[in-house]
Amino acid sequence: MLDRVLEPEVMDSAEEARDYDAMDHSSVNRIFAADFLAVWQGQGPVLDVGAGTAQIPIELCKQATGFRIVAIDLAEHMLAVGRANVRAAGLEQRITLERQDAKQLSYDSGSFGAVISNSIVHHIPEPRRVLAEMKRVLQPGGVLFVRDLLRPADDVMLQHLVRTYAGDANAHQQKMFSESLHAALTLTEIRQLAAELGFAPATVQQTTDRHWTWSARI
């Protein structure tokens, strides 16, 4: 198994924000939104932790109505692009973007009907703190829906995933994806964290060749 190699916790340069937003995440985002909505039919509000450039909140608003989304990130350049994306989509009344540190959220306990996150965990050196904060701000009966990359077993598989899913990307985008895979958790590691936080390990499943998904209610 590849060792975990950390990448920067915050992607906060204009180039990183621009290149990240330009990558084609549309299919992954549509699937994420549909999978989340299949397990949650509440009225919100929804907290998106590590929302980046707000692509998933926008996709959620396209697929469903009736709830608001608070989208947070620590990277101001990501949020700047996200605000422009939200304005362009005409969704400023439904999506609020805020700069927050996911390790220490400013929200009261039980503030949200659902907490979602896509691809923040691999950025965090010690993810337990972030996951515990997600649990804390959930309302009783709320849904936790977290998806992230899965660290490959070896470098051969890592390079295969980069070629398969970022083969048409530029060199910087390919480098970002490769580093993210190297920084990701294994299924065993994320299941152990789920158990430490009081959830059944089976609430975390491998859902693609490069993703795990944690779907649970508190």
Residue by residue, pLDDT tens for the chain (218 residues) are 899 999 877 666 666 666 665 666 788 999 999 999 999 988 779 999 999 999 999 999 999 998 999 999 998 989 999 999 999 999 999 999 999 999 999 999 999 999 999 999 999 999 999 999 999 999 999 999 999 999 999 999 999 999 999 999 889 889 989 999 999 999 999 999 999 999 999 999 999 999 999 999 98
Q: Are the C-beta atoms of residues 31 and 208 closer than 8 Å to each other?
A: no
Print the domain residue range for 53.
14-217
Q: Are the C-beta atoms of residues 119 and 50 closer than 8 Å to each other?
A: yes
Q: Are the C-beta atoms of residues 84 and 105 closer than 8 Å to each other?
A: no
Does 200 reside within a domain? yes
Residue-level pLDDT at 24? 62
Does 5 reside within a domain? no
**Separation of alpha carbons 31 and 54, rounded Å:** 15
Does 208 reside within a domain? yes
Does 3 reside within a domain? no
Does 24 reside within a domain? yes
In degrees rounded to 5, what are phi and psi of residue 60? -60, -40
Does 4 reside within a domain? no
- Two tokens at 64? 């469903």
Number of domains in the chain: 1
Residue-level pLDDT at 22? 62
Distances (CA, A) of 110 to 65, 89, 125, 218: 22, 29, 25, 11
Does 142 reside within a domain? yes
Output the domain CATH number for residue 74: 3.40.50.150
Residue-level pLDDT at 39? 96
Q: What pTM was computed for the model?
A: 0.92
Does 195 reside within a domain? yes
